Amino acid sequence: MGGEGSPLTPNFSRLSSQSNVYGLAALPAGEEGPGGLLAAALKGKVIHFRYHELQRRMRPLASELQFTYIPVDAEIVSIDSFPKSPPQRGLVVGITFIKDSGDKPSPFLNIYCDYEPGSEYDLDSVRWECRWLHDTPQCLASWCHSHLWECCPGA
């Protein structure tokens, strides 16, 4: 079937710990973003999987991304990404995690996006720009539609 480096060729990469179905997020490609897949392991590591064209061949590439404000002892529950709504441009990444703070585990939601022109889709830039929330949403989808502009203007 597929030749070397084609999408049909199986490629493997190990995660440092297990994940779940909520630990995967597809990234928009082309003008809408860098493309690829984000995979979050329970133990806090996030890997960006994508194909990179090198010498007219598609090569698999996996790189670890360290997002800010996620403690090393936190357990990632889910990750998601989506493009900002037009006319704004950029990528928004949301990561939920649990941190054991002694008495009981505490849930957290971090939202990442970048405002700098030219960096809106750059994961190396986005992962450093965590936005703070003033409340904890019960339903993230409806909260995003009504409040996301507070932390990511134009999202």
Look at residue 67 in the predicted model and tell me its pLDDT: 92
Please state, rounded to an integer, the average pLDDT across all residues of the chain.
77
Residues in CB range of 18: below 8 A, 6 or more apart: 41, 42
What would the pLDDT profile of 112-127 be if each residue is shown by its tens digit? 988 788 888 888 888 9
Look at residue 95 in the predicted model and tell me its pLDDT: 92
Of the two residues 69 and 133, the one the predictor is more confident about is 69
Contact indicator for 131, 152 with CB cutoff of 8 Å: yes
Of the two residues 92 and 133, the one the predictor is more confident about is 92
Instruction: Report, as an integer, the average pLDDT of 40-44.
Output: 87
Has residue 4 got a pLDDT over 50? yes
Residue among 44, 36, 49, 48 nearest 19 (CA): 44
Beta strand 75-83 pairing with 57-65: unpaired
Predicted TM-score (pTM) of the model is: 0.76
**Percent share of the chain, pLDDT over 90:** 12
What would the pLDDT profile of 52-103 be if each residue is shown by its tens digit? 777 888 888 888 999 999 988 889 999 998 888 777 788 889 998 998 878 8
Look at residue 1 in the predicted model and tell me its pLDDT: 43
